[in-house]
């Protein structure tokens, strides 16, 4: 479920009209529903309560401190992929022993900082990384816990850019190489291999890829046991899909029904790393129509949000449902959804102000007739929306607001011109 619903002619987030938020905070604007966020986390937690997994929210999906704190307060751990995300995780109050650290390219300084902070473990992606962690751990006089990330070579049935569990992807270690690592583990004096990790992709709507990957992992775990190798954790990653358009993704209960029996067989402590499933439908991007431009072959609706604000359509040709709000022109009347214009439709490209032909939010989309000043809500923008945004074209990044019942809390200010240049140094005199 999510808390973005029409009540009469007005689109609400929880108990607040999004129109009021657009008026108060301006656009582009990210709006998040607190109750949608925690509800999705709770549903996953309840579905797997028999095994009491550690659910480490994937920070990369949306790293705003308020989002992180809301989930940490409900018992979540965090899955991080950079030193910056480690900083955010600790700043938001996450216990270090609830942090797991992935990424194929951890630098030496990132590894050292994470060891000093005492994270639960690293998800190791290569032999070279394992050697680096060993070297740094020895220098610090520490014994560091790691999990070996396995590439199970399964087809996740998702977009090729967000597939991570095939041997053609850069992620993880193949079974044969992983087995050799375990056989040589005693030579790694400052490393304790405490678990195994998989993550096969993102926006996966079927259970079969997970069943295939976990089944392979069980076979591998049994092989390790036969060789006297004992581990404590199995991290099954994340990647659960959500509804953007016509998808029919599995619910938390359906997902648990398929894989719980397999997980119980391992006897290991289970870790999960959901991101999009928790935050994806908890956020929308609100944008304003600047111009409607008709050409001999196309009709363009030009809005004030661009690919720098939401890159998914340009990067993946991803679909986001887009709903109309209408400004009446009367400052005392709220922006509202116009049912009256539903019968007047046109096929349009909804594009941003960025100087790129790839700057679009939707192409060939049937929409009610739009005019300058109308407002649009780009749905399902909570995951990989703001977190992938940029200052391209020297554009200031959007504000973010979290709604809790009837309260709207500003959780990120809109950037200023000074923010755009705050780290730049202009040489004095001529060069």
Select from 52, 139, 155, 54 the least CA-distant residue to 99: 54
- pTM summary value: 0.91
Mean pLDDT of the 74-99 span: 98
What count of Cα atoms within 13 Å lies in the side-chain half-sphere of residue 46?
9
**Percent of the chain scored above 70 by pLDDT?**
91
d(CA 280, CA 379): 9
Q: If you count them, how many residues does the chain have?
A: 431
pLDDT band at 113 (very low <50, low <70, confident <90, very high): very high
| The predicted structure's pLDDT at residue 208 | 84
d(CA 307, CA 66): 24
| The predicted structure's pLDDT at residue 200 | 82
Strands 233-235 and 191-197: parallel
| The predicted structure's pLDDT at residue 335 | 40
| The predicted structure's pLDDT at residue 1 | 59
Domains and CATH numbers, the chain: 4-31+280-421 (2.40.37.10), 34-276 (3.20.20.10)
What count of Cα atoms within 13 Å lies in the side-chain half-sphere of residue 178?
25
| The predicted structure's pLDDT at residue 170 | 60
pLDDT band at 292 (very low <50, low <70, confident <90, very high): very high
Contacts of 203 (CB under 8 A, 6+ apart): 158, 159, 162, 239, 241, 242, 276
Q: How many CB atoms lie within 10 A of CB 331?
A: 7
Mean pLDDT of the 168-194 span: 81
d(CA 10, CA 323): 11
Unique residue bearing structure tokens 């007739």: 369
Q: Which residues pair with 57 in a beta bridge?
A: 78
pLDDT of residue 122 exceeding 60, the answer is: yes
d(CA 152, CA 344): 50
Average pLDDT, the chain: 89
Phi/psi at 270 (5° precision): -100, 135
pLDDT tens per residue, range 236-288: 998 888 888 877 778 899 989 999 999 999 999 999 999 999 999 999 999 99
pLDDT of residue 78 exceeding 60, the answer is: yes
Mean pLDDT of the 84-96 span: 98
Count of H-run helices and E-run strands, the chain: 12, 20
For residue 5, give both structure tokens.
């619903």
pLDDT of residue 382 exceeding 80, the answer is: yes
| The predicted structure's pLDDT at residue 332 | 37
Mean pLDDT of the 17-25 span: 94
Q: How far is CA 107 from the centre of its chain?
A: 22
pLDDT of residue 408 exceeding 80, the answer is: yes
d(CA 162, CA 166): 11
| The predicted structure's pLDDT at residue 207 | 78
| The predicted structure's pLDDT at residue 166 | 45
pLDDT tens per residue, range 330-342: 333 334 444 444 4
Name the least confident of 111-125, 142-156, 345-359, 401-415.
142-156
Q: Which residues are catalytic?
A: 355
**Percent of the chain scored above 90 by pLDDT?**
70
Unique residue bearing structure tokens 């209960």: 253
206 contacts 215 by C-beta, under 8 angstroms: no
pLDDT band at 370 (very low <50, low <70, confident <90, very high): very high
Select from 330, 313, 331 the least CA-distant residue to 322: 313
Name the least confident of 89-103, 144-158, 234-248.
144-158
| The predicted structure's pLDDT at residue 164 | 44
| The predicted structure's pLDDT at residue 184 | 78
């Amino acid at each position: 479920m999510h808390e973005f619903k029409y009540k009469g002619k007005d689109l609400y987030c929880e108990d607040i009209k999004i129109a009021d938020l657009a008026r108060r905070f301006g656009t582009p604007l990210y709006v998040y529903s607190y109750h949608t966020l925690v509800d999705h986390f709770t549903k996953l937690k309840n579905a797997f309560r028999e095994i009491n997994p550690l659910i480490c929210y994937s920070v990369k999906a949306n790293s705003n401190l308020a989002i992180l704190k809301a989930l940490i307060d409900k018992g979540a751990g965090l899955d991080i992929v950079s030193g910056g995300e480690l900083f955010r995780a600790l700043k938001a109050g996450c216990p270090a022993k609830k942090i797991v650290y992935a990424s194929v390219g951890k630098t030496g300084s990132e590894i050292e900082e994470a060891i000093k902070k005492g994270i639960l473990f690293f998800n190791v992606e290569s032999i070279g990384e394992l050697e680096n962690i060993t070297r740094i751990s020895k220098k610090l006089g520490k014994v560091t816990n790691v999990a070996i990330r396995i590439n199970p070579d399964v087809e996740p049935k998702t977009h090729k850019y967000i597939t991570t569990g095939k041997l053609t992807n850069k992620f993880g270690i193949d079974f044969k190489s992983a087995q050799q690592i375990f056989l040589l583990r005693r030579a790694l004096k400052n490393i304790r291999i405490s678990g195994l990790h998989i993550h096969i992709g993102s926006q996966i709507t079927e259970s079969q890829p997970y069943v295939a990957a976990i089944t392979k992992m069980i076979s591998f775990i049994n092989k390790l046991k036969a060789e006297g190798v004992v581990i404590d954790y199995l991290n099954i990653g994340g990647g659960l899909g959500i509804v953007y358009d016509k998808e029919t993704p599995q619910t938390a209960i359906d997902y648990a029904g398929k894989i719980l029996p397999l997980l119980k067989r391992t006897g290991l402590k289970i870790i999960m790393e959901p991101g999009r499933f928790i935050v994806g439908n908890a956020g929308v991007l609100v944008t304003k129509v600047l111009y409607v431009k008709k050409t001999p072959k196309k009709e363009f609706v030009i809005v004030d949000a661009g690919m720098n604000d939401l890159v998914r359509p340009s990067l993946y040709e991803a679909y986001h449902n887009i709903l109309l709000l209408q400004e009446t022109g009367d400052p005392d009347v709220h922006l509202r959804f116009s049912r009256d214009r539903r019968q007047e439709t046109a096929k349009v490209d909804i594009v941003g102000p960025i100087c790129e032909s790839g700057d679009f939010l939707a192409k060939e989309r049937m929409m009610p007739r739009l005019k300058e000043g109308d407002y649009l809500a780009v749905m399902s923008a909570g995951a990989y929306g703001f977190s992938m945004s940029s200052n391209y074209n020297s554009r200031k990044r959007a504000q973010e607001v979290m709604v809790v019942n009837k309260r709207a809390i500003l959780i990120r200010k809109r950037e200023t011109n000074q923010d755009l240049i705050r780290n730049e140094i202009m040489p004095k005199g001529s060069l």
